[in-house]
Amino acid sequence: MTQTTQSQPKTRAQIADKTLRTDPWWRSPMVTATALTIVVIYLTWASLVNNHYFANPYISPLYSPCLATTCAKHSGLDWIPWLSGLTPAILIIWGPMGFRLTCYYYRKAYYRAFWRAPASCAVREPHAKYTGETRLPLILQNLHRYFFYVALIFNVILTIDAVLAFRNSSGQWGHMGLGTLILIVNATLLWLYTLSCHACRHVTGGRLKHFSKHPVRYWLWTQVSKLNTRHMQLAWVSLFWVLFTDLYIRLVSAGVFSDPRFF
């Protein structure tokens, strides 16, 4: 440890120059910021618009489980009065949003893209102090391990939605359309993203002293660890697929085109 680091333990890396980088280091945070801005704008609009989220038998993942009284396909919770004033999406978005906002990968992405903390390696930071995630509000990022279980519940519900999409609009089973396929891919990607979570890795293999005494957990941890190496890619693909699924169902519901039926 250098003398500088010892005497200034709570400051950020000391770089006199604006950056020591000669490569286009800003490209990655700029692309991330652009992509996240598009996602936030679309999600805000789609959650508030409160229409065209159901095209029988498909329901948008942004609106499922559909709890509001205004729901085209609601769950029977319309006896809860305060549910009636909100859109079905707003009622549930805290679950998947909380999981993604506190995700280790997304934290890195938006800290770099929006706060520039840090902007990149060997780039001077605009912030003089570093408190990390040790105080409010960022200490709430520690809730991620609990949002993991919330995400599992949403995955089960969206998987059921995908299975229910094997019906036709009259409710008869044994049918499949392009929307069914899109919902299946959506559920699969969400499971892969969730199972590749660092919290899942801890659940499967954390706190074990001897893997040899826990062969099942060791095997599970090994599989999750393999998925975990793709966590960033799964985070982006699953996120955009949710948006694409919502858009597809929205367009079918609005009558822009009809859902092609395979059988």
Binding site for ligand FES (CB under 6 A): 103-105, 144, 197-199, 231
Helix, coil or strand: residue 167: strand
* Nearer to ligand FES among residue 193 and residue 248 (C-beta): 193
Distance of closest approach, residue 197 Cβ to ligand FES, in angstroms? 3
* Nearer to ligand FES among residue 108 and residue 127 (C-beta): 108
User: 217 Cβ partners below 8 Å, 6+ apart?
Assistant: 204, 205, 208, 211
Distance of closest approach, residue 234 Cβ to ligand FES, in angstroms? 9
Residue of 122, 54, 262, 106 lying closest to 178 (CA atoms): 262
* Nearer to ligand FES among residue 98 and residue 168 (C-beta): 98
Distance of closest approach, residue 38 Cβ to ligand FES, in angstroms? 20
Burial degree of 23 (CB within 10 A; 0-12, 13-18, 19+)? exposed
Helix, coil or strand: residue 206: coil
The H or E element containing residue 6 is: helix 3-7
Distance of closest approach, residue 105 Cβ to ligand FES, in angstroms? 5
For 70, 180, 193, 198, 223, the CA distances from 229, given in Å and listed in that order, are 41, 29, 11, 10, 10
Distance of closest approach, residue 189 Cβ to ligand FES, in angstroms? 13
* Nearer to ligand FES among residue 106 and residue 248 (C-beta): 106
CA distance 116 to 111: 6
* Nearer to ligand FES among residue 187 and residue 199 (C-beta): 199
Residue of 10, 242, 263 lying closest to 135 (CA atoms): 10
The DSSP code sequence of 99-152 is HHHT-HHHHHHHIIIII-TTSSTTB--S-SB--TTSSTTGGGGGGHHHHHHHHH
Distance of closest approach, residue 233 Cβ to ligand FES, in angstroms? 12
* Nearer to ligand FES among residue 167 and residue 198 (C-beta): 198
